[in-house]
Amino acid sequence: MAAVVETRVHAGAQTNAWTIDPKNLNSLLEVLATLKRLGFEGFETSFRNVQEQFGKPEPARARLGETGLRFFGVHVFLQEYDPETAIGPWDLLRKVADGGAALGAERLIVSGASTPDPAALARKAKALDRVGRYCAGRGLKLGYHNHHFEFQEHHWQIEGLLQEAGPSLRLVLDAGHALEGGANVAEFFAQHAGRIDGIHLRDARQGQEVPLGEGEYPWGPLAAAIAKAKWSGWVLAEEERLSGEKPGEAAIRPAREAIRRIFGA
């Protein structure tokens, strides 16, 4: 009998909408309890929120598992990146990969800096390939999280990474940044759905960030492209206000409703 292929979209959320005390696991667990109550299936969080647990991961892994949520990914986002590779330092990424795997994370998510010339892009792709192979050896996937600059100038940077890095590199597509970089997100998704594991979703109205579904970003075409592709990845509510505001459930609750309404997840 042929294997059944799952084609249901999964709903997740970042934890960035809340202020979390990285030294207190209960601070994160309270947020996860809220996500579970709102009907999310999984979560993504910054490595800073879990790195205190890396030394003795077993108790924390058990408590995270008790939430009933899948640990979609642990994200390494930095203010400054290695100038040679344009991603985080190797020792940090290796440490987070080890710690994330021990805590039950499904993937390491890596952000990076712009690579404005082909040589810089080639170095970044090589570094990501190294990280991807390391993650694979620990049962993790690697997801690259884009910013707007990778989609400027006909998105040659993100296309170059996909071409030059090995197959272990997959995308956690930040659709908001892609839109701001000038991309046709639905078209890009249709071309690369096979290498996209998750999509970050947010919204804005007249330049001001608002909860998902209450702004001007055109999510209908992306939803149609997802349905056509019979894609079974994750759509994740994202809240990273430039103001530094942490709206918590006030923003994530309507985002969950929008994900149901627009994406059927």
What gap in Å lies between CA 233 and CA 243, rounded to an integer?
30
Quote the tokens at residue 150. 């990778």
Which pTM does this prediction carry?
A: 0.95
Instruction: Specify whether the CB–CB gap between 102 and 59 falls below 8 A.
Output: no
What gap in Å lies between CA 215 and CA 209, rounded to an integer?
8
Q: What is the pLDDT of residue 56?
A: 95
Q: What is the pLDDT of residue 242?
A: 78
Integer angstrom CA distances of residue 217 from 81, 108, 132? 29, 27, 32
Integer angstrom CA distances of residue 65 from 59, 69, 168, 207? 10, 7, 26, 38
- Write the single-letter amino acid at 52: E
Name 224's Cβ contacts closer than 8 Å, sequence gap at least 6: 186
Tokens 């947020």 found at: 31
What gap in Å lies between CA 184 and CA 151, rounded to an integer?
10
Q: What is the pLDDT of residue 6?
A: 55
Q: Give the model confidence (pLDDT) of 223-237 as tens digits.
A: 999 999 999 999 999
Q: What is the pLDDT of residue 244?
A: 80
191: helix, coil or strand? helix
Q: What is the pLDDT of residue 2?
A: 39
Q: What residues does each domain of the chain span?
A: 10-263
Within 10 A of 70 (CB to CB), how many other CB atoms are there?
A: 18
Instruction: Specify whether the CB–CB gap between 131 and 86 falls below 8 A.
Output: no
Q: What is the pLDDT of residue 253?
A: 97
- Write the single-letter amino acid at 203: D
- Write the single-letter amino acid at 187: E
Q: Supply the DSSP string of 219-262, one letter for each residue.
A: -HHHHHHHHHHT---EEEE----TT----THHHHHHHHHHHHHH
Tokens 């640990």 found at: 71
Strand-pair category, 107-111 with 208-210 = unpaired
Q: Give the model confidence (pLDDT) of 131-176 as tens digits.
A: 999 999 999 999 999 999 999 999 999 999 999 998 989 999 999 9
- Which regions of the chain are under pLDDT 50? 1-5
CATH class, range 10-263: alpha beta
User: Side-chain half-sphere of 48: how many Cα atoms within 13 Å?
Assistant: 9
Residue from 218, 221, 225 nearest 192 by CA: 225
What gap in Å lies between CA 137 and CA 92, rounded to an integer?
17
Q: What is the pLDDT of residue 92?
A: 98
Residue from 130, 33, 44 nearest 89 by CA: 130
Identify the helix (H) or strand (E) that includes residue 135.
Answer: helix 118-136
